[in-house]
Structure 1
Amino acid sequence: MTMMSVSERCTAVATFRHVSVWLMETAARWTPITAEMEAKVMFGHHIWDFAQMADILGKRTFELRRHEHYTVPPSTAYQAFLAEVAGTATVADRISALYDGVLPGLIARYRVYVAATDAILDEPTIVLAERIVLTLERQRAEAAALMAELGLASDIGATFAAREATVGPIVAQDMAA
Structure 2
Amino acid sequence: MQLNVKQRGDHVATFRWIEVRCMEMLARWVPMTPETEVKLAFGTHIWDLAQHADSLGKRTHELRLPAQYSLEPASGYVRFLSDLAETSASDRRVAAFYDCLLPALERRYRDYLGRVDSLLDGPTLRIIDHILFDLARMKTEGQALREELPAVASTDAAWLDALRRHELEFTEIVVGRPAEQAAAA
After TM superposition, the score normalised by the length of structure 1 is: 0.96
**Matching of residues 1-80 of structure 1 within 5 Å:** 1=1, 3-80=2-79
Residue equivalent to 1:131: 130
Specify the code of the residue in structure 2 equivalent to 1:30. W
Cα distance in structure 2, aligned partners of 1:75 and 1:68: 22
Return 5+ residue gaps in structure 1 as ranges. Answer: none
Q: Is the 8 A contact 2:7 2:176 kept in 1?
A: no
Specify the code of the residue in structure 2 equivalent to 1:132. I
Q: Is the 8 A contact 2:27 2:42 kept in 1?
A: yes
Matching residue within 146, 158, 161 for 1:158: 161
After TM superposition, the score normalised by the length of structure 2 is: 0.92
Cα distance in structure 2, aligned partners of 1:57 and 1:129: 9
Per mean C-alpha deviation after superposition, the further-off stretch among 155-164 and 100-109 is: 155-164
Q: Percent identity?
A: 41
Cα distance in structure 1, aligned partners of 2:163 and 2:177: 26
Q: Matched residue pairs, number?
A: 176
Residue equivalent to 1:169: 172
Cα distance in structure 1, aligned partners of 2:110 and 2:53: 17
Which digits, 9 at most, give the CA deviation of each residue in 1:65-121, with x for residues without a partner? Answer: 111001100111111111121111101100101111111111000000001001100
Cα distance in structure 2, aligned partners of 1:129 and 1:158: 27
Which digits, 9 at most, give the CA deviation of each residue in 1:134-155, with x for residues without a partner? Answer: 1111111111111121112113
Cα distance in structure 2, aligned partners of 1:67 and 1:25: 22
Per mean C-alpha deviation after superposition, the further-off stretch among 36-45 and 143-152 is: 143-152
Return 5+ residue gaps in structure 2 as ranges. Answer: none
Cα distance in structure 1, aligned partners of 2:166 and 2:49: 22
Cα distance in structure 1, aligned partners of 2:111 and 2:22: 20
Cα distance in structure 1, aligned partners of 2:91 and 2:121: 38
Cα distance in structure 2, aligned partners of 1:121 and 1:173: 20
Residue equivalent to 1:110: 109
Cα distance in structure 1, aligned partners of 2:87 and 2:38: 15
Which 4+ runs in 1 deviate beyond 2 A?
155-159
Deviation at 1:170, TM superposition (A): 0.9
Cα distance in structure 2, aligned partners of 1:24 and 1:126: 22
